[in-house]
Structure 1
Amino acid sequence: MNNYLAKLWEISRKPERLIVGLMSGTSLDGLDICLCKVSGSGNNSKIEVIKFTTKEYSTPLRDRIRAIQSKEQVRARELTILHTELAGRYASWILDSLNDWGIDPDKVDLIASHGQTIYHAPAQLEEEEHATLQIVDGDHIAQKSGIITIFDFRQKHTAVGGEGAPLAGIFDEVLFRHQEKHRLLLNLGGIANFTWLPSHKTGEPILTSDTGPANTLINEAMQKYFDQPFDDQGEVAASGTVHSELVRYILLEPYFRKAFSKTTGQEDFRLEFIENLMEGHGIELAKKEDLVASLTAVTSQSISRAFDEIVGDQEFECFVSGGGIHNRTLMNDLKERNPNATYKDIEDLGISADAKEAAMMAFFANELVTGEGFSIPGVTEEKIHLGKISLPG
């Protein structure tokens, strides 16, 4: 028997596992590395974040990824090279982080790598299938780190008829649903997504969905006009004036009229599209800060519309994660628009805002190795496992 298969069997029988979760979102801030202790499986899963860090992408690397991300046409050679190159960087960053934390790599049971989303393509026509593509090769991570690696989590979701996103609903329901209280977990990455968790006692199903752009349009505008990767604390938006007509035209786009649950990506929301819309409607802004302010308003208003439609006038606790939580202008606007929400620190749930999505990858890897899997509401009642396994050697 392959020694690593035997090791994998032993790992599956342990009372708890030490798993490194990895996440790099569409906003391209960098690689989130989360060391987690995971026990149990299914609805009995428990997860504890031990260590967390982010390895920021250099500007040249970020530009190279951006050149192939969410584009109709890309250079196949560069995509292929990055698929391998990023895996090598991931492995090095993992080993460096473990060294910094004083953790022997031999003590780590699994690596759980989301990869880098390059293109997300929910079916537009009945004869099409949902498709999504994440690069960063698991074999290279496993070989260079010496640690069994689970990767490519979204493909099984599309294989059974799902759109491949968002995946957070499974994780959120198991770990954060409350017996008495309604909760909503909102993630503000490049794209905004939420999980609505009505209290257990209602017996109502959960709902998870994207709402539209969170940081992606804001970041593009900041990069193009201010030579900054993002709007730090929302200060640029705060110095601008929201152009209400521009916001209205953006929110009239077809995506926002689709029923929940739905997914999207940068393929649907690019700055080029916004600028073409402005030109088509003859919209001119007094200053570039007004563009950032307006794009921030698009994020807050599209999220608030989702809250109104899904939650209505019910009171609920709202826990926010992702990079957008650091944008004060965005967060203040969300709070003003949603008076029925009590905003709470997600750390009250035992996990940090920045670490949540990387920890979620560790959760899925644990389930693949030890559990019976999960059904996907609205997609399949069959229990499935997410991810592929790569063995070193």
Structure 2
Amino acid sequence: MNKYITKLSEISSKPERLIVGLMSGTSLDGLDIALCKCKSGFVDVKEFRSVEYSKELIKRLSEIQSRVATNTKELTLLHTELANYYGEAVIKALIEWGVPMEEVDLIASHGQTIYHAPAQTEKEINATLQIVDGDHIAQKTGIITISDFRQKHTSVGGEGAPLAGIFDEAVFRDETKHRLLINLGGIANLTWLPSKNSGNKVMSGDTGPANTLINEAMIKYFDRTFDERGKVAASGKVHSELVRYILLEPYFRKPFPKTTGQEDFRLNYIEELMEGHGIECSEKDLIASLTSLTAQSISRAVDQITNDEAFECYVSGGGVHNESMMKELEERIPQGEFKDFEELGIPADAKEAAMMSFFANDLVSGDGFSIPGVTEEKVHFGKISLPD
């Protein structure tokens, strides 16, 4: 028998597991690495770091991500190159944390989303693609690696997202308190967690762009990869007519649950819309407007699903550091009591990497999860790659 099959069996029978969770989102800002202690329904983040992508890597990824036509050679190369990059980043992080490699049970890698294609008609199928090969990570590190989590979701009829709703309900739902969890990555998603005592259903979905449009505009007009602390947005003025036209897009009128990706929200489309409607605004005003778009689209979604009930609100993801975005969110969601995500036991920046650890832990030792509105059957997420 393959020695790693025996080891996997031993890992699955342990009371808890030490797992490295890896996450890189559509905002292309870098790789999040979270070292987590995991057991059923519980994740404890022991260490965390983010590794920024270089400008060259961001450029290469942006040229193949969310595009109908792309360079298949570059796509193939990055599938392997990024895996080696991830593996080296994990090794370096563990050395700096003083954690012996042999103490880590699993690596859980989300990968880099290249295209997200939820069905638009009944004749279409749901599909999504994440690159970064798990075999290469496992071979580079010598650690059993779980990857490609979203394919099981689509294989049973889901859209491949959001996975966050499953994680949020299992880990953060409270008996008596209503909670709203917002994640501000490239795309914004939220999970409505009514108290268990209320008997109401959990609701989760994508609201639209969070940082993806802002980052794309910052790269093009300011040669910076993101708007640090929302300073550029704060220096500009929101062009309300531009935001109004963007919010007329069909996606914003779809009912929950729903998912989207950068495919639906690219800067060139915004610029075409501006040209078509004769809208002119400065580069700073564009950043301010795109920031406001994120806040307005999220608040609209919140109004649809929370019925004006008071709730605790926790925000995670890179956008939590955008002070302009956070200020407008708090103004537009007055029924929410905004709290530090870390009060839930996980740092805001580490949430999605921790989520990958959570799903990897369930794959090897859990009972699986049903997917609301898709299947009541229990499913597990992820594929297993052995080092040899």
Normalised by the length of structure 1, the TM-score is 0.98
Within the candidate set 155, 159, 163, 1:163 is matched to: 159
| TM-fit CA distance, 1:100 | 0.4
Partner of 1:99: 95
SS at match of 1:86: helix
Partner of 1:260: 256
Is 1:297 the counterpart of 2:292? The answer is: yes
Partner of 1:342: 337
Equivalent position amino acid for 2:356 in 1:
M
User: CA–CA distance in 1 between the matches of 2:370 and 2:19?
Assistant: 23
| TM-fit CA distance, 1:111 | 0.3
Equivalent position amino acid for 1:20 in 2:
V
Within the candidate set 373, 377, 381, 1:382 is matched to: 377
Q: Map of 1:142-291 to 2, 5 A cutoff?
A: 142-285=138-281, 287-291=282-286
SS at match of 1:68: coil
Partner of 1:354: 349
Equivalent position amino acid for 1:25 in 2:
G
| TM-fit CA distance, 1:46 | 1.5
User: CA–CA distance in 2 between the matches of 1:338 and 1:169?
Assistant: 20
Equivalent position amino acid for 1:376 in 2:
I
| TM-fit CA distance, 1:312 | 2.4
| TM-fit CA distance, 1:47 | 1.2
Partner of 2:305: 310
Q: Matched residues, percent identical? A: 69
Partner of 2:112: 116
User: CA–CA distance in 2 between the matches of 1:327 and 1:146?
Assistant: 38
Equivalent position amino acid for 2:298 in 1:
I
The Cα offsets for residues 294-333 of structure 1, whole Å up to 9 and x where unpaired, read as: 1111100000001111112110000000000000001000
User: CA–CA distance in 1 between the matches of 2:232 and 2:54?
Assistant: 23
SS at match of 1:36: strand
Partner of 2:4: 4
| TM-fit CA distance, 1:55 | 1.1
Equivalent position amino acid for 2:51 in 1:
K
Within the candidate set 124, 128, 143, 1:128 is matched to: 124
User: CA–CA distance in 2 between the matches of 1:78 and 1:376?
Assistant: 34
Q: Map of 1:366-381 to 2, 5 A cutoff?
A: 366-381=361-376
User: CA–CA distance in 1 between the matches of 2:351 and 2:239?
Assistant: 34
Please identify runs of 4+ aligned residues in structure 1 that moved more than 4 A.
Answer: none
Normalised by the length of structure 2, the TM-score is 0.99
Equivalent position amino acid for 1:218 in 2:
I
Instruction: Tell me the matched-pair count.
Output: 388
| TM-fit CA distance, 1:57 | 0.7
Partner of 2:28: 28
Equivalent position amino acid for 2:4 in 1:
Y
Partner of 1:324: 319
Equivalent position amino acid for 1:145 in 2:
T
The Cα offsets for residues 225-284 of structure 1, whole Å up to 9 and x where unpaired, read as: 111111111111111111111110000001101111100000000000000001111111
User: CA–CA distance in 1 between the matches of 2:60 and 2:280?
Assistant: 31
Equivalent position amino acid for 1:298 in 2:
L
Is 1:75 the counterpart of 2:71? The answer is: yes
User: CA–CA distance in 2 between the matches of 1:278 and 1:92?
Assistant: 43
SS at match of 1:319: strand
Is 1:59 the counterpart of 2:37? The answer is: no
